[in-house]
Structure 1
Amino acid sequence: MTPERDLESRDAHTRIRGIRILRLRLAGHSKPYEVDFRDEDGSPRPLSIIAGPTNTGKTSILELIAYAFGGSSYPDHEEIVRQVRAAIVEADTTFGPITVERAIEASTALLFDTSLDRAGETVPQPHPVGPPSDPASLSSLLLSTVDLNDIQLKVAPTQQESATHIMSFRNLMWLCMVLNERVGSTQILWEGNYNKNRHLIQTVDAIFGVHENEGADLASRISRLNEQVLGARREIKALEEFIREQGSTPREQLQEVVDNAEGEFAAIRGELDRLDWEEAASAQIARELRDRHQRAARGAIQARQRLRDREALVSRYASLRAQYNDDIRKLTLLKQAKSIFDQLSVQVCPACLGKLPEPPSVQAGQCSMCSQPVSTSVTSLTLGTIASARETVAGLEDGGPSEAPNGKIPRQQEPEELLDEVPFDDAGALEAISADLTSTRRRFKELNEYWLQLNDSLPALREARAQAEATEGALAAEVNRAASGKVTPYVAARESLLARRQAASVRRDRANAALKQWRIVEQRQRKLEVMAGELAELRSQNRSSKTRPDRNEMLARLSSRYRQILADFEYPKHNDTGSIDESLVPSVRHRPYRNASSGGQVLQTLAWILAIFEVAYEQGANHPGFLLIDTPQKNLGGKAAENDEEFADVRLVERFYRHIINWLDGPGRGAQIIIVDNTPPAIADPYIAVQFTRNPNSGRFGLIDNEVG
């Protein structure tokens, strides 16, 4: 914290008297647990409500605050024992922001003279929790915020020579916190314990400055405080000389290093944010390029597949085309064989080899050349025609009937019948060959036209493939350029900024380590200033001829405020009879609160504690300025319908909250009230600081939110 900001902080805190609770943080073994009582600007919220079902840790929050402030015990629920190791409270005080840390089962608390977020920048001061008579105790420190340290309370108030004891902050917490066991019971003043009851009454008197030993206390406090001021000055001087002897860098230079480092941190954060934005934009472009490249790669693969399939199809149809062409040539040759060849007709005599005057022919069923009988179906004679027919007939005669493939023996036929079945009709064969040739030529033409179309499409497919591969290659190169040309510089720039931040962090940490010594001096100086101010005020009071405040007047003011609060609550049939007697016992209808019904005791308890708090705050008395209330709806509203119909009106709770809201917005501006309530009315919704659900699937389960069993 710079000297300027520190001065501003002290100036801002001079308006605060007492203590205002800002945050409760529980240091856990696995995680921290925090409840925040601050507004958006960091100031304490006037009214904070902790809402939610039972068994969620609401009351434990109040108990842990009291424990951190020196309470004798802490809530020992299983989840707290398992998870919590220390209770930490951040508060605004007369001296400025403080942070109090007290470990579980510890008898010493650590005090950080700064806010919770900056606690690591200062050296904590250990303060024993007790005894309160120890000037270094936590109780003495907290009481000094309201000028109640070193207050001597009589053990036997009615005896002039009674022994005394030092007032403790635990005594003061009885008037700053009302837990469930005191709300709506007969123990609001600890009537069952004489010592506690006596200490409570004396504490109220001390708050309003009407306790018996005030004069003696004033002189004793002036003497003791004067000694403390002189000792603090000597201590500060010795510390400054020690630091200078160690050759430490002057405080101003160290603070300048810290401020420069903080400024560099801010600049680096800005640069990192800019890099993040640019890298995100570049990454978006790179993603678009990669998407385009992937689409182009898929297009290139599809183009290659189409070309490969077309080439395979052209190749297969080319083979079929060649086969059809060969068949056409064969059929054409077969058709033209009769005119090209003489079909082996006999033109030379086989005996003399002389040319016959005319070729052999069939005349009257006989061969004209050898006069042998010829089948009537034969019309022309060529070499081997009759021999082939005869061999067929002879084979049938020699082999006999053969078994058909189906196992049956066909009917035996005569050789003449078999000869008649031999196809020697040249005209029919020629006609069949011509028909087959025509059909083959037609199919070949269709196949050839389709093959030509396929073959003609190959250049276009090859060009499409080449274009797709070129596009894919160009986009791949562009993606590579984008990756190497944009991402790498961002990584290098980020590494450079992180290195700068690390170097600045090292400089700041070293300067802060050296500043801790000076901060100890600053703490002592601030404490000295406060003590000097208190000393001046005490001396002024001692010189003043002003008489001590009258206790009866204090009781009259408390009774008047008590009646006013009951009227605001619209307490049934109170008839303006409320009062607080000399033992601080409240009553209504001329009967002590102990004689009221359960709902009546709740309202009287709330009115009693609020009357003391409000009057003390408005008069600038020695009250810390905060009030913790647990379960104000106890025995009120619908819960009281069966046994106490008089207090079954749910509007009683609404009027309680309306009174508090109006007072905090008026005469109580600057005070702080924290209320634990299971189901606050709608009027209190804007003031809910934390809402527990006891539902692991919705909102915050409870104070220890990872214990959901």
Structure 2
Amino acid sequence: MSKKIFLEKLILIGFRKNYEVLFKKGLNFISGPMSTGKSSIAEMINYAFGSEKHKAYIEIGKSCKDVQLDFWIGEKKFKIVRPLFDFNRPVKLFRWNEEGADFEKNFDLLEIDSPANKQSLSAFLLNEIGLPDIIVANQSFSFRDLFKYSYVKQSIIDSENLLMERTSGSNLKRKPTFEIIFNIYNELLGDLKQQLKEKLKLIEFLNNKRVGVYEFLKEMNMLNDKTFQEEKERLRKILSTETNKLREIKASGKYDESLTMGLEGDISSLKEKISNFDTVILDKEKHIDKLLLLRNQYSNEIQKIEFILEGSLILNSYTFDSCPSCLNPISPKSGCTLCGSEFKDLSTEETKVFKSELLRLKRKLNNLIIFMDQQRGILIQVQEERKLSKDELHVKQRELDHLINHYISPYIEQIQHINYEIGKINNSLDQLEKNLSVVNQFSKITQDILEEEKLRDKLIKRIDSLEKEKITKKDVIQNLSELFFEILEEFSFPKLSNAFIRESNYLPYVRGVKYDELGSGGAITMTTMAYFLSIALLKLKNKNHLGLLIIDSPRKNLGADSKIDDEFKDEEIFNSIIKYFTSLKDKNDPAKTENPVEDIQLIVITNGNPDFLSEDDLIVKFDGKGTNELPYGLIDDVEHL
């Protein structure tokens, strides 16, 4: 059984302020009108967990630079910080420090890449939840494959392609992922045994390498840090003694200032040069930050124009009885008298103007990106030049320190001899530092062995678990189908009959037909929700579900609508669905039900909320107006479009 994920906090890190959403265990209801940022909360969670990109949200682009997600995997707490609108940059991964009661300052940089890359976010998450190094359909099994069963977004909830089964190439890992969730993947056991074999070979290699380093350190009598420190202190005492001898011999000598004046001038120039570099670096970093804001503005303007052009084509193909903005009855000639919306076709000339402006902005954006890359290159070059100057300054200072301790005296031979001894001692100290690197290598190999042995033990445990407690596919499908039917029944699905999950393709069927043949958007919406809920809630000991389910906008195609003759357009049906969500806490309690379901964190996003919904479950509420002490939306401190 994999470890579960629990979301604690989402923060959009802004230029003026931060925008925060707190989550809790069980049901988390997010309510508000359209265009207030509800869906962006779900998408920002998805983006933090490694999606390739996010939508070009205009207000987020104006106000925010990073997304932060605080979450738990089992008993461990983590924080992900990922840049917005810069999709190729790595994410920062912070670990929680129990003693300090805060996240550690040091972080790991993780790439947005396949888990075949061990430095990727996907590889890290899979390793932490306990599902590392799995190959399906000749590809690495990804965290994103698993997360598809935890995020039911708007484009999926009423889709007739809910698991991309109709899309060539996109569904290769769909069925294996389903089997991995329920621990019925036939090839997994063989893969795990092969991984165990390779892990044992790696541990043997590291042990042999460790023995070789150990023998070297044993000969050098450098097996521990105490020995190293004692030897270092001994050499420093000898160096101090020899330096004092040199000083006494030269006591009668005369200091030659000409030997050091040139070095002092060089050192002064280098310090000034480094200071100038610091100023240039700071200015360049500020300039790049400003360019980043400008890039976001261009992206937002491009998105606006694309929305205008695309929206015009779509809206002009419809005749509206009611205003799509405020639902007020309208006259096609005069437009909406309530909100003032007009429904005029864009003229050919206006379309040309918009397209011309779009082309101009895209050209500017491309030029800006090229310029930003050039500026980053200049910054890196200046930083490298500063480092070289710093190294040169260190050499000059050391040479000056050496010269000012040398005096010209009649005892040149003695001075040369002592200088030779001092040189030998410095060489010994340098060699000691090199030996310390070998000691550190020994410690690292030891730590690597311990880490690999932990992974080996996890593999052995997983193999034993699979062999002892593996459930049959037939039992899984039967139990899943029963739960699927029960959920639809409590949803008040009209004329419910013959609802099940088919073993051959793992897809839902209702009234004896495949979900995409039901002929109703409301039916597909209810079936899709019940399908993902049944997968998340089915209580099996070795199930590998994340324990998290995000459902975005279940009201679509549901709820009262007198203008549409559809048996699913019934407010009671929608209320039944919400009541089922609120009842999950009791359904998880064995004392209150005969067949308890899995305990999950459920996040539901929808327009409005029923009166019977508990305030404890309503974690976020927007009103779209910024009145009644409620925020307008997620980004609540700027003028909204």
Confirm or deny a common fold (TM above 0.5). Answer: yes
Q: Deviations over 1:135-187 (max 9, x none)?
A: 23211121224332211111xxxxxxxxx110111111110100011112202
3-state secondary structure, aligned to 2:71: strand
The residue that corresponds to 2:240 in the other structure is none
The residue that corresponds to 2:127 in the other structure is 144
Judge conservation of contact 2:36–2:624 (CA < 8 Å) in 1: yes
**Please, which of 458, 461, 483 is the counterpart of residue 537 of structure 1?**
461
The residue that corresponds to 2:527 in the other structure is 604
Judge conservation of contact 2:192–2:459 (CA < 8 Å) in 1: no
What is the identity, as a one-letter code, of the residue corresponding to 1:61?
Answer: I
d(CA) in 2 for partners of 1:245, 1:176: 55
The residue that corresponds to 1:680 in the other structure is 609
Q: Deviations over 1:639-666 (max 9, x none)?
A: 4x43343112212122212223323332
Higher helix residue share:
1
3-state secondary structure, aligned to 1:55: coil
**Please, which of 35, 40, 48 is the counterpart of residue 21 of structure 2?**
35
Q: What is the deviation of 1:613?
A: 0.9
Instruction: Show the 5 A alignment for 1:477-556.
Output: 531=455, 533-541=457-465, 544=467, 546=468, 548-556=470-478
**Please, which of 105, 128, 140 is the counterpart of residue 166 of structure 1?**
140
Judge conservation of contact 2:164–2:171 (CA < 8 Å) in 1: yes
What is the identity, as a one-letter code, of the residue corresponding to 2:146?
Answer: L
Judge conservation of contact 1:587–1:593 (CA < 8 Å) in 2: yes
d(CA) in 2 for partners of 1:674, 1:688: 10
d(CA) in 2 for partners of 1:204, 1:708: 45
Change (3 A) 1:547 1:535: closer
The residue that corresponds to 1:625 in the other structure is 547
d(CA) in 1 for partners of 2:204, 2:32: 52
Q: Deviations over 1:282-306 (max 9, x none)?
A: xxxxxxxxxxxxxxxxxxxxxxxxx
Q: What is the deviation of 1:601?
A: 0.7
The residue that corresponds to 1:513 in the other structure is none
What is the identity, as a one-letter code, of the residue corresponding to 2:73?
Answer: T
Change (3 A) 1:590 1:98: same
Instruction: Show the 5 A alignment for 1:573-584.
Output: 573-584=495-506
Judge conservation of contact 2:522–2:557 (CA < 8 Å) in 1: yes
The residue that corresponds to 1:161 in the other structure is none
d(CA) in 2 for partners of 1:644, 1:184: 18
The residue that corresponds to 1:181 in the other structure is 155
The residue that corresponds to 1:613 in the other structure is 536
Change (3 A) 1:539 1:32: same
d(CA) in 2 for partners of 1:671, 1:22: 14
d(CA) in 2 for partners of 1:189, 1:608: 11
- State whether structure 2 residue 93 is matched by structure 1 residue 111: yes
Change (3 A) 1:187 1:48: same
What is the identity, as a one-letter code, of the residue corresponding to 1:169?
Answer: F
d(CA) in 2 for partners of 1:580, 1:187: 16
d(CA) in 1 for partners of 2:501, 2:604: 25
Judge conservation of contact 1:95–1:527 (CA < 8 Å) in 2: no
Where structure 2 has 5 or more consecutive residues not aligned to the other structure, the ranges are 215-222, 230-443, 589-595
What is the identity, as a one-letter code, of the residue corresponding to 2:626?
Answer: P
Q: What is the deviation of 1:576?
A: 4.4
Root-mean-square deviation (CA, aligned residues, Å) is 3.5
3-state secondary structure, aligned to 1:34: strand
The residue that corresponds to 1:655 in the other structure is 576
Q: What is the deviation of 1:577?
A: 3.8
Q: What is the deviation of 1:674?
A: 0.6
The residue that corresponds to 1:690 in the other structure is 620
Aligned residue pairs total: 403
Judge conservation of contact 2:21–2:620 (CA < 8 Å) in 1: yes
What is the identity, as a one-letter code, of the residue corresponding to 1:222?
Answer: L
Q: What is the deviation of 1:243?
A: 8.8
Instruction: Show the 5 A alignment for 1:329-368.
Output: none
**Please, which of 608, 620, 636 is the counterpart of residue 705 of structure 1?**
636
**Please, which of 168, 173, 179 is the counterpart of residue 205 of structure 1?**
179
3-state secondary structure, aligned to 1:122: coil
Q: Max radius of gyration: which structure?
A: 1
d(CA) in 1 for partners of 2:104, 2:566: 58
- State whether structure 2 residue 12 is matched by structure 1 residue 26: yes
Judge conservation of contact 2:493–2:526 (CA < 8 Å) in 1: yes
The residue that corresponds to 2:65 in the other structure is 85
3-state secondary structure, aligned to 1:60: helix
Q: Deviations over 1:476-496 (max 9, x none)?
A: xxxxxxxxxxxxxxxxxxxxx
**Please, which of 169, 172, 179 is the counterpart of residue 195 of structure 1?**
169
Judge conservation of contact 1:208–1:621 (CA < 8 Å) in 2: yes
Where structure 1 has 5 or more consecutive residues not aligned to the other structure, the ranges are 1-14, 39-44, 155-163, 248-519
Instruction: Show the 5 A alignment for 1:267-346.
Output: none
Change (3 A) 1:140 1:230: farther
What is the identity, as a one-letter code, of the residue corresponding to 2:458?
Answer: E
What is the identity, as a one-letter code, of the residue corresponding to 2:488?
Answer: L
Judge conservation of contact 1:19–1:145 (CA < 8 Å) in 2: no
**Please, which of 113, 117, 120 is the counterpart of residue 130 of structure 1?**
113
TM-score (norm 1): 0.52
Judge conservation of contact 2:484–2:534 (CA < 8 Å) in 1: yes
The residue that corresponds to 2:566 in the other structure is 645
d(CA) in 2 for partners of 1:59, 1:131: 26
Judge conservation of contact 1:148–1:206 (CA < 8 Å) in 2: no
What is the identity, as a one-letter code, of the residue corresponding to 1:678?
Answer: N
Change (3 A) 1:214 1:536: closer
Q: Deviations over 1:600-642 (max 9, x none)?
A: 1111011111111111x54341111101100111111114x43
d(CA) in 2 for partners of 1:550, 1:632: 33
The residue that corresponds to 1:366 in the other structure is none
The residue that corresponds to 1:664 in the other structure is 585
Change (3 A) 1:16 1:708: farther
**Please, which of 31, 37, 44 is the counterpart of residue 57 of structure 1?**
37
d(CA) in 1 for partners of 2:123, 2:552: 26
d(CA) in 2 for partners of 1:627, 1:245: 56
The residue that corresponds to 1:259 in the other structure is none
d(CA) in 1 for partners of 2:31, 2:476: 35
Q: Percent identity?
A: 25
3-state secondary structure, aligned to 1:645: coil
d(CA) in 1 for partners of 2:27, 2:449: 34
What is the identity, as a one-letter code, of the residue corresponding to 1:213?
Answer: E
Judge conservation of contact 1:102–1:108 (CA < 8 Å) in 2: yes
Q: What is the deviation of 1:198?
A: 2.9
d(CA) in 2 for partners of 1:550, 1:122: 46
**Please, which of 478, 485, 488 is the counterpart of residue 563 of structure 1?**
485
